[in-house]
C-alpha cells in the first residue's frame, strides 16, 4: 500500500493530521508509525510524551467529523482501550453548525426531483438537530401527516472518503510497525469502521433497518416503530413518521402524565432482550434520547442508523457467557473467552483463569440485585484487554446495549434488578437453543459438511501423493520479521549511512582546506570540518549510550 499518493489534497490533509497529533502531544504516535520525518515542528516530538486521554479526545475533535466518529466507536471497545480512554471518548459529541436552507433544498431537489416546498405541505427551514453527516427538519406531507426529514450535508461524503483513505493507510502502518497494532489487528478493525461509516452515508440502509424492526415488532403491544415513506426517501434523504411524546429520560414529565415507571423499566428491558436473543438484530444506540412514551402509552424508538447482528453462533456463545457470569463459573467463562477471543500472541490459560477467578470473587457474595451489569462487563473487558484478547465487535456492542438498557431502567426505577430480570429470559432462550428441532437442523448441516469432506479429501490426498512421488511436492515456509527487528535493522542502516556521510565530510573538507584556498573560502571549509567532527562525536556518543559496539 502506497502511503503518499500524488493527490495534493490527500497530502495536505495527511500533514494536517500529523501536525494536529503533534500539537496535542501525540508526536510519539507519529514516531511509532515511522512518520516522524513529516512532523512540521520537530521540537514537538518529545513534548507531552505521556499523553492523557483528554489530549487524545481534543485531537479527535480538532480533526473533524470522521475522527469524532472513530472516537465514538472506540468508546464502545473497552476490550481494546483502558477505561479512562473509553470514558473520555464517550464525551465526543457529533454536533455541527446547520447547513443553510438553500443547500438543503438543493439536496432534496437533486435526490427527489422536486424542491421541498413542492413535495411537502410545510418544511421547517431551521433544523431540530444538526450533525456532521446530516440534519433533521420537521415537515408535513400534503395530506397533513407529520414527518421528520433527514437530509445529508453537502460534501460530507467526500470529506469522509478522504479521511477514510488516510485512516486505512495509517492503520496498515500501525499493523506493520507496532506491537499494539499487531496485537489488535488495527488494519482489520479499521476495515470494519470503514464499512460502518459508509453505511451511515446511505439512508436507504437506515430505511431498510427501520422497516425490518417494524415487521419484527408488528405484533408487539408496547414498541412502536415509525413508518418509512419510501416515495420521499433516497440515498441522501430519509423521511420518517414523526413521533410525538415524552422522552423516557424526562422522569418528571412521566410522573405528571401518570406513567408507571416501574412497568416502563421492565418493558424497555424486555424489548432490548427480545431484539438480542429472539431476533439477533438489534438497535445499537438505544440511549434515552431515542425512546419516547407516546400519548397511547406505547414506547416509540427512533434513529435506526446503527444496528447490530447476532448470528446463531454468537447468540449461543453470549448465552453461555451470561450464564457463566450469573452462575459464577470461572472455568466456563475462561473457555468461552478463549473460544471467542482473537489474539496475536499466545495466551496463558492459567493466568487468564486466575484473573477471572479474582474477578468472580469480587461478586461472589453479592446478590444479583447489587451487581451492576455494566460495571461487571467493564471489569471483564479489562481482563480481556490485559491479556490482549480482542473480542468480536458484535459481542462488545451487545454488552454496550445491555449497559444502556440497565442505565435507562435504573433511571426509571432505582430498585430495578437488571440481571435478575434478565436471568429467566436467558434461560428460556438457552432452552430454545437446545430444542430437538434446532439440534436436528444442526446435525443435518454437520452431516452435509461431512459428505462434502468425504467427496473431496480422497482426491486431494491422491493429488498430494502423486506430486510427492514425482518430486514436485514443495513446502514453502515464509517468516515475517517482527516490527522490533525491522526497527533495529533500520536504525543500524541509518547509523551506517550517517557514519559514511560524516566521514566523507571530514575527509573532504580537510582535503579542500589544503588544496583549495580562495579568499574567504578557507573559513567555510574549516566550519564544515568542525561541524562534521561534532556530528561524528555525537554518533559515537549515541552508540556508546546504547551499549552496543
Known catalytic residues are 285
**Overall size of the chain counted in residues:** 549
Q: Which of these, 206, 202, 223, lies nearest to 157 by C-alpha position?
A: 202
**Residue 370 CB-density burial (10 A; 0-12 exposed, 13-18 middle, 19+ buried):** exposed
DSSP 543: H
Say if residues 251 and 261 touch (Cβ distance below 8 Å): yes
Sequence-separated (6 or more) residues with CB below 8 Å from residue 460: none
The grid cell for 499 is 557514519
Q: How many other C-beta atoms are found inside a 10 Å radius of the C-beta of residue 290?
A: 17
Q: What is the C-alpha to C-alpha distance for residues 400 and 75, in angstroms, rounded to an integer? A: 10
Q: Which of these, 477, 397, 486, 394, lies nearest to 182 by C-alpha position?
A: 486
User: What values do phi and psi take at 108, rounded to 5?
Assistant: -60, -40
Treating both helix axes as pointing N-terminal to C-terminal, what angle do 312-326 and 330-340 enclose, rounded to 10 degrees? 150
Q: For cell 508526536, what's the residue?
A: 27
**Residue 300 CB-density burial (10 A; 0-12 exposed, 13-18 middle, 19+ buried):** buried
Assign 3-class secondary structure to 423-473. Answer: HHHHHHHHHHHCCHHHHHHHHHHHHHHHHHHHHHHHHHHHHHHHHHHCCCC
Q: What is the C-alpha to C-alpha distance for residues 368 and 349, in angstroms, rounded to an integer? A: 27
| H helix or E strand, kind and range, residue 134 | strand 134-140
Q: What is the C-alpha to C-alpha distance for residues 53 and 32, in angstroms, rounded to an integer? A: 18
The grid cell for 275 is 431484539
Amino acid at each position: 500500500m502506497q502511503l503518499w499518493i500524488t493527490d495534493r489534497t490527500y497530502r495536505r490533509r495527511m500533514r494536517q493530521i500529523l501536525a494536529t497529533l503533534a500539537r496535542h502531544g501525540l508526536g510519539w504516535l507519529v514516531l511509532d508509525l515511522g512518520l516522524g520525518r513529516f512532523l512540521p515542528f520537530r521540537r514537538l516530538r518529545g513534548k507531552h510524551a505521556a499523553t492523557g486521554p483528554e489530549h487524545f479526545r481534543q485531537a479527535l475533535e480538532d480533526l473533524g467529523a470522521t475522527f469524532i466518529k472513530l472516537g465514538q466507536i472506540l468508546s464502545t471497545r473497552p476490550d481494546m482501550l483502558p477505561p479512562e480512554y473509553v470514558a473520555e471518548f464517550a464525551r465526543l459529541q457529533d454536533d455541527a453548525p446547520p447547513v443553510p436552507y438553500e443547500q438543503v433544498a438543493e439536496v432534496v431537489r437533486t435526490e427527489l426531483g422536486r424542491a421541498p416546498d413542492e413535495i411537502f405541505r410545510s418544511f421547517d427551514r431551521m433544523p431540530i438537530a444538526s450533525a456532521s453527516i446530516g440534519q433533521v427538519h420537521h415537515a408535513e406531507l400534503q395530506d397533513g401527516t407529520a414527518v421528520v426529514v433527514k437530509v445529508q450535508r453537502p460534501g460530507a461524503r467526500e470529506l469522509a472518503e478522504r479521511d477514510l483513505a488516510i485512516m486505512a493507510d495509517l492503520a496498515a502502518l500501525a499493523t506493520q510497525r507496532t506491537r499494539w497494532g499487531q496485537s489488535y489487528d488495527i488494519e482489520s478493525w479499521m476495515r470494519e469502521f470503514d464499512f460502518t461509516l459508509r453505511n451511515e452515508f446511505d439512508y436507504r440502509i437506515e430505511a431498510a433497518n427501520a422497516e425490518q424492526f417494524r415487521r419484527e415488532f408488528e405484533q408487539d403491544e408496547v414498541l412502536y416503530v415509525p413508518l418509512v415513506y419510501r416515495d420521499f426517501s433516497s440515498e441522501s434523504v430519509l423521511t420518517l413518521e414523526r413521533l410525538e411524546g415524552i422522552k423516557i429520560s424526562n422522569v418528571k414529565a412521566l410522573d405528571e402524565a401518570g406513567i408507571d415507571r416501574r412497568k416502563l423499566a421492565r418493558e424497555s428491558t424486555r424489548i432490548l432482550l427480545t431484539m438480542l436473543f429472539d431476533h439477533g438484530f438489534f438497535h445499537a444506540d438505544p440511549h434515552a434520547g431515542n425512546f419516547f412514551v407516546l400519548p397511547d402509552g406505547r414506547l416509540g424508538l427512533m434513529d435506526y442508523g446503527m444496528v447490530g447482528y447476532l448470528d446463531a453462533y454468537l447468540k449461543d456463545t453470549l448465552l453461555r457467557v451470561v450464564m457463566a457470569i450469573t452462575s459464577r463459573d470461572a472455568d466456563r467463562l475462561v473457555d468461552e473467552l478463549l473460544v471467542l477471543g482473537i489474539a496475536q500472541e499466545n495466551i496463558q490459560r492459567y493466568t487468564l483463569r486466575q484473573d477471572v477467578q479474582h474477578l468472580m470473587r469480587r461478586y461472589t457474595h453479592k446478590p444479583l440485585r447489587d451487581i451492576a451489569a455494566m460495571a461487571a462487563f467493564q471489569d471483564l473487558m479489562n481482563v480481556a484487554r490485559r491479556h490482549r484478547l480482542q473480542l468480536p465487535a458484535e459481542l462488545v456492542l451487545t454488552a454496550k446495549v445491555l449497559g444502556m438498557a440497565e442505565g435507562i431502567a435504573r433511571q426509571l426505577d432505582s430498585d430495578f434488578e437488571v440481571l435478575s430480570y434478565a436471568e429467566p429470559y436467558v434461560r428460556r432462550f438457552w432452552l430454545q437453543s437446545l430444542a430437538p428441532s434446532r439440534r436436528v437442523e444442526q446435525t443435518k448441516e454437520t452431516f452435509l459438511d461431512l459428505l462434502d469432506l468425504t467427496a473431496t479429501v480422497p482426491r486431494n490426498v491422491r493429488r498430494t501423493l502423486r506430486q510427492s512421488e514425482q518430486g514436485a511436492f514443495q513446502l514453502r515456509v515464509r517468516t515475517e520479521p517482527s516490527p522490533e527487528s525491522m526497527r533495529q535493522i533500520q536504525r543500524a542502516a541509518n547509523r551506517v549511512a550517517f557514519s559514511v556521510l560524516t566521514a566523507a565530510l571530514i575527509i573532504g573538507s580537510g582535503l579542500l582546506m589544503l588544496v583549495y584556498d580562495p579568499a574567504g573560502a578557507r573559513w567555510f571549509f574549516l566550519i564544515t570540518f568542525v561541524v562534521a567532527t561534532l556530528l561524528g562525536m555525537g554518533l559515537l556518543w549515541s552508540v556508546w549510550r546504547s551499549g552496543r559496539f
